[in-house]
A = this chain, B = another copy of it.
Amino acid sequence: MTVNPIAPTIPLDAQGAHHGFLKLPYSRDDSAWGSVMIPISVIANGDGPTALLTGGNHGDEYEGPIALQELARFLKPEEIRGRVIILPMMNLPAFTAGLRCSPIDGGNLNRSFPGRPDGTVTQKIAHYVATELVPSADVVLDFHSGGRTLDFLPFAAAHILADKSQEAACMEAMQAFNAPYSVRMLEIDSGGMFDTEVEEQGKIFVTTELGGAGTATARSVAIARKGVRNLLCHVGILSGAPEVAATIELDMPDERCFQFAMGAGLIEYLIDLGDTVEEGRPIARIWPADRCGTDPVPCLARRDGVLAARHVPGLVKVGDCVGLIAVPVE
């Protein structure tokens, strides 16, 4: 039976605040006995629940890493009850490269669970998190945004689950996070996702999409910062009540929510994120990228709703997702 070679450089169950690395041996052309060193902080104080907080699941999404770096630096053991495990840059090689996937093996960490102890670097990370960190957690918060190629309305999300009491706990946690938008999601193709792994272990799980375009703003980081503290209050690790404002509930009922480009070219959006659209009306149009004087090709909305996500780069390829239309819940 292969053992996962990842080892932490700090104790994961000691009291106080400890900052170190998950050390993953990685022999390669430019370092025969090299390692991938994934930063980790653990802050613990007495009895209480354990929260696992992760950013950098995709390496080009920044609200999570920023909010978690700040939390790791400034959260004091005496403020809490229980334990907070923080991985601000879970897929470190992707994060370092500023890419969605790992430049080492191409791995999309969020499609690599439950991982393998003898697999690629990405699979080893997935396996370690799934077998060593998730089991000890009561609640898991995984930060996402659109990355370099998508931009989202800021929302927290929880999944529709077979176990309705688990689902209810997740929905409450999502409400506690209190992003400007909140989404109940039915995951169609959940294979390999961190979400699925955590939920199958029976944990409370919240995920987010807080912006995108390969960056973060003061406003989007503020949502992340408030959300993570709210969640820690909600589960009793921090004392006090979550700070709650209005949230807009969105639904994504079927695959007509997703719009794909049927041609390549220069994309012109005709509406912006949060704008309302009617079925059959154009969301965007695609101009040729190699000539002028010819007609653009329109992308017509496949349903009524609001534009909840869009493509970022000015050029679009055939098959790229150009829009996500969500339906506000009455």
Please report A residues at the B interface, Cβ cutoff 8 Å: 2-3, 5, 17, 19, 21, 23, 25-37, 39-41, 58, 60-62, 65-66, 68-70, 72-73, 86, 88-89, 92, 95-96, 98-101, 108, 111, 118, 146-151, 189, 191-192, 213-219, 221, 258, 260, 264, 266, 268-272, 275, 287-296, 312-315, 317-321
Contact = CB atoms under 8 A, between A and B. Distances in A.
B268 A37 contact: no
Given A271-B218, A312-B214, A28 B293 contact: no
A37 to B, nearest CB: 4
A324 to B, nearest CB: 8
A266 B39 contact: no
B287 A66 contact: yes
Task: Give the one of A17, A36, A258, A269 with max B CB within 10 A.
Answer: A269
A37 B272 CA distance: 26
Contact of A37 (B216, B275, B315, B319): B319
A257 B99 CA distance: 31
Contact of A270 (B26, B218, B313): B218
A312 B29 CA distance: 13
A60 B28 CA distance: 11
Given A218-B270, A266-B65, A40 B292 contact: yes
Contact of A319 (B23, B58, B289): B23
Contact of A98 (B61, B150, B292, B314): B314
Given A32-B147, A290-B96, A314-B215, A118 B62 contact: no
B314 A27 contact: no
Contact of A39 (B292, B296, B312): B292
Contacts of A270: 218
A65 to B, nearest CB: 6
A96 B295 CA distance: 19
A321 B72 CA distance: 27
Contact of A66 (B2, B101, B266): B266
B217 A73 contact: no
A211 to B, nearest CB: 11
A146 B36 contact: no
Given A5-B189, A33-B150, A89 B320 contact: no
Given A73-B293, A149-B31, A216-B268, A260 B23 contact: yes
A27 B260 contact: no
A34 B69 contact: no
Contact of A31 (B28, B289, B317): B317
7 contacts: A3-B189, A27-B100, A32-B149, A33-B150, A86-B292, A98-B313, A215-B314
Given A72-B293, A73-B293, A268 B66 contact: yes
A271 B293 CA distance: 32
Contacts of A258: 33
Given A27-B100, A89-B289, 5 more contacts: A27-B111, A32-B148, A33-B321, A39-B290, A218-B269
